[in-house]
Structure 1
Amino acid sequence: MAVEELQSIIKRCQILEEHDFKEEDFGLFQLAGQRCIEEGHTDQLIAIIQNEKNKVIIKTMGWNLVGPVVRCLLWNDKDDKRKDYFLMLDLLVKLCNPKELLLGLLELIEEPSGKQISQIILLLLQPLQTVIQKLRNNKAYSVGLAWSTLWSQLSLLPVPYSKEQIQTDDYGLCQCCKALIEFTKPFVEEVMNDKENKENEKLKDELLKFCFKSLKCPLLTAQFLEQSEEAGSDPFRCFASEIIGFLSAIGHPFPKIIFNHGRKKRTWDYLEVEEEEDKQLADSMASLAYLVFVQGISIDQLPMVLSPSYLLQFNMGHIEVFLQRTEESVFSKGLELLENGLLRIEDNSILYQYLEIKSFLTVPQGLVKVMTLCPIETLRKKSLAMLQLYINKLDSQGKYTLFRCLLNTSNHSGVEAFIIQNIKNQIDLSFKKTKNKWFTGPQLISLLDLVLFLPEGAETDLLQNSDRIMASLNLLRYLVIKDNENNSQVSELFEKERMY
């Protein structure tokens, strides 16, 4: 019955011009075609689609059948007619109006949730690529619309964290990343092969935005397999390598991008990118820095003349971005990036002037937040180790400045005790080696004013502040016993009462 009904509609439309088709005709065609699919009349429907006499009808109305065909492919994975469904999908992609088909495919991609998101994306990426390639006008806009739709759905998928989760890939995100690279390659090649085409400038713009979005999602939160022998099978590492390769291919190699980020005039001229929220772009740039400096992806493209202190200064802003996030998988990357930069630098070599740069103070404050608020012990310990390493790299005035800052801002007894212990260590070094003006005399007295006092005076909770109080008393005891020559001038803080 459904086949006869569809043939009746087609017979009536065959005598009409395309512009004479009515809205009613579209609706009847869709309903009859859908019934044919549901009732299993795939052979007859394929014959109707392939009939040359129906070419105009299929071109104009056929896109309405894509949805029912795709749903059958998704829901009936064991259906013996799957070959017919795939053939119908291929025929419709080949014969239908590409503009209408593009919108129809994107609507289908937006429909599902959960694990079906990856299933429909993997099913429709190749047809979507074919449809876009058939468009003669506004290809850049269509590509951008497709990427935007794809990422809006992919961003809903959980990013696998452990090695086991990456390998099982329950939600299909890793597979989608691989497929998305294949979807994108023809458009990259198009830009590379015809650089003089003005339309390709717009396509390059969309590619650049696609790369930035990819750096943020999923690469900002993605974890990478540690074993070097598994690097080639790590889906996120492969995806990151391809994205960085795309940047170079379209004329934006990552050294050019990352070393110009933050300047008033960036190296790209695309208004849309300039107007992106700073936070979004900052996340992408931080992700790129991590991929290059920690994971070593394409690091050989960097100039060899860059000093360790310059690279640390460059990366501190990105480390700050990582530490501002609350996701373990993100701020842990900030710890790795900081460690990577600090290990290249000799102790006591970071000049105090660097602390005039905002990130050189906000990063240690971010470490304190991780130390005190993170529920994961390994990350708390890692943050503590990074703060100590950071202190070790500062020169004397830098250490002095940082100690004052953290004593004023940490509001945590344990952290304050840690800082006071570091102050004691610096005083001890000053006594044993060359006298250091920052940890003896008037400068030390000023610092001790912050150390040797109760935060709330007589009402201070001694139990809650016990770590700080014990560290302060320990420091005072050390000074009284060791500083026989009064190099610290600590005696000026107190009136001594001698009892004979």
Structure 2
Amino acid sequence: MTLSSVLDQLAKLPVPVTKEQEEDDVFSLCRCCTDLIQFVRPFVQEARLNQCSGNQLEKSHKTASGQDEGAEDELRTELLKFCMKTLSQPLLDVQIRDPDTLPLSPLRTFASEILDILGAVGESLPSLLFHPLLKRKEVPGFLEEEVRYPKNSLASLAHLVFVHHLAADTFPSVFSPLFCLRSNMEHISILLSRPEDSRLQKGLELYEKSMVRVEDGSLPADLLEIKTFLTVPQDLVKVMTVCPKHDLRTKGLKVFQLSIDKFHTEAKYRFFQYMLRTSNHSGVEGYIIKNIKNQIDAALQPGNSNIWFEGAHLLPLLRKVFSLPDGPETDLLQNLDRVMESLNLLRYLVIRDKVTENQTGIWTELYKIEDTFMKPLRVGLNMSRAHYERELQGTMENKKKKTTDKSVLSVSVGGDVLPKMTSESQIQALHSALHTFDMIESVLVRIEELTEVKDGLEPAGELHPLKT
């Protein structure tokens, strides 16, 4: 009852955000955590003695009636509940600082003590951390499995062990990086699915630490059949695109690229297919297309040939790339990143891959690309430019009619009402849009010139599906 009451009060205290706040203990959280450890220490010592193998004879004598045995189980259960609650609050929200940053950290000491208590009550750290992958035996007691081992608490524990290396002297180093990654993906998914900055930060750190130990290009494609290897990238996309903190968005992009680098060639191919199908974000799609270009470039290097980024296997991926979401009516400004990266990839292919070699199959597929991508893009460009030129002309005429330059205009572009702004700002925005269309058209024209020059040449023989 005491532990439950104290933890309820502890959860109400603000968490120190800066190093100085922890040093000065401005919210009294550090002092409370230190006193709490002092309070539970005698009970932990009793639980440790009960676990000691040298005490088995005395234990069997004490528990002959079964009453003391029940008390021991209840003691272990209450201490386990205490550890799990503190791992969730406050430790999941606390930023643990390394000894180099803060030599004397009460919160780091508190976290270490909690991990020590887990061992005292007979809980194995590897068993807890790899809980998602291991089938645990039934544990007698009044706690159900999910109540006994809350997912948030296990995610917090994984961050303490793998990022801050707490309890490293008691944690075996025999587990492979791939096994650790597979298990941690469950914890990472829990952390990245939360909106709080502290949880997102810890999810990104745990993902990075888990990936760094894995060899580049080693993760097999069958991992993508595991749910978390698809849901975690989706969570990463949300961090990269909608998180308000710039440093978290930047960190998310770094970890996203790191995860791509760790995949085997076939896994990269399948991952790119999945992301192009599900991301629904122009910037992310553009980033994926840039990665596809890099993989094709690597495959075309002498001695680096592979079946996934050239030939018949590449064509289905290229068809996904060279398409417009809404055909000629696609919003080119909203989809600018995807459109420009697609054009850059197409320009690269027609320059790099000779017609007589046709390693990528681009020359066999070119007539389809013209019909599904280049011609609709040309129509869309003409429609968009005409619309924006008309809006620009109308805005400039309206400006002349106004008696003051401070007049505020409301203009509708592409069916959406743009934010109210002065006429000068509106004209500048419309000019910027027209400049963007010119930039798209310049690349498109260059591609058309390159393909026309080589039209007289016959592409290399028909591509046939390759056996994997």
TM-score normalized by structure 1? 0.67
* 1: CA distance, partners of 2:105 / 2:98: 9
* Residues 290-369 of structure 1 aligned to structure 2 (within 5 Å): 290-369=159-238
Q: Is the 8 A contact 1:417 1:472 kept in 2?
A: yes
Q: Is the 8 A contact 1:420 1:471 kept in 2?
A: yes
**Match for 2:291 among 422, 427, 430?**
422
Contiguous gaps of at least 5 residues in structure 1:
1-144
Greater shift, 221-230 or 374-383, is seen at 221-230
* Residues 60-79 of structure 1 aligned to structure 2 (within 5 Å): none
- Matched residue SS, 1:228: coil
Point out the structure with max Rg over C-alpha: 1
Contiguous gaps of at least 5 residues in structure 2:
52-58, 60-67, 371-450, 457-468
* Residues 127-166 of structure 1 aligned to structure 2 (within 5 Å): 145-166=1-22
In the alignment, is residue 180 of structure 1 matched against residue 30 of structure 2? no
1:112 corresponds in structure 2 to none
* 2: CA distance, partners of 1:218 / 1:311: 25
Deviations, residues 318-363 of structure 1 (Å, cap 9, x unaligned):
1111111111111111111111122112210111111111111212
* Residues 201-216 of structure 1 aligned to structure 2 (within 5 Å): 201-216=73-88
Deviations, residues 260-313 of structure 1 (Å, cap 9, x unaligned):
345443474334142529xx7111001101101110101222222211111111
Q: Is the 8 A contact 1:290 1:337 kept in 2?
A: yes
In the alignment, is residue 238 of structure 1 matched against residue 94 of structure 2? no
1:452 corresponds in structure 2 to 322
- Matched residue SS, 2:219: coil
* 2: CA distance, partners of 1:342 / 1:453: 33
* Residues 388-427 of structure 1 aligned to structure 2 (within 5 Å): 388-427=257-296
2:119 corresponds in structure 1 to 248
* 1: CA distance, partners of 2:131 / 2:285: 38
* 2: CA distance, partners of 1:305 / 1:264: 19
Greater shift, 175-184 or 158-167, is seen at 158-167
2:361 corresponds in structure 1 to 489
**Match for 1:259 among 130, 138, 142?**
130
**Match of 2:268, as an amino acid?**
K
Q: Is the 8 A contact 2:133 2:183 kept in 1?
A: no
TM-aligned CA deviation for residue 175 of structure 1: 1.1
* 1: CA distance, partners of 2:20 / 2:276: 43
Q: How many residues align?
A: 353
Deviations, residues 215-264 of structure 1 (Å, cap 9, x unaligned):
11111110022442634x11211011000100111111312322334544
**Match of 2:78, as an amino acid?**
E
TM-aligned CA deviation for residue 470 of structure 1: 0.3
Q: Is the 8 A contact 2:129 2:158 kept in 1?
A: yes
Q: Is the 8 A contact 1:209 1:273 kept in 2?
A: no
Give the direction of change, closer, same or farther, for the CA distance of 1:271–1:444 in structure 2 (3 Å limit).
farther
More helix by share: 1
1:466 corresponds in structure 2 to 336
**Match for 1:480 among 305, 326, 350?**
350
**Match of 1:173, as an amino acid?**
L
**Match of 1:461, as an amino acid?**
D
- Matched residue SS, 2:351: helix
* 1: CA distance, partners of 2:202 / 2:229: 17
1:270 corresponds in structure 2 to 141
* 1: CA distance, partners of 2:144 / 2:77: 8
**Match for 2:152 among 280, 283, 286?**
283
* 2: CA distance, partners of 1:456 / 1:156: 50
Aligned-residue identity in percent: 46
**Match for 1:191 among 17, 40, 47?**
47
Q: Is the 8 A contact 1:161 1:223 kept in 2?
A: yes
TM-score normalized by structure 2? 0.72
Q: Is the 8 A contact 2:16 2:94 kept in 1?
A: yes
Deviations, residues 27-75 of structure 1 (Å, cap 9, x unaligned):
xxxxxxxxxxxxxxxxxxxxxxxxxxxxxxxxxxxxxxxxxxxxxxxxx
2:23 corresponds in structure 1 to 167
* 2: CA distance, partners of 1:165 / 1:188: 30
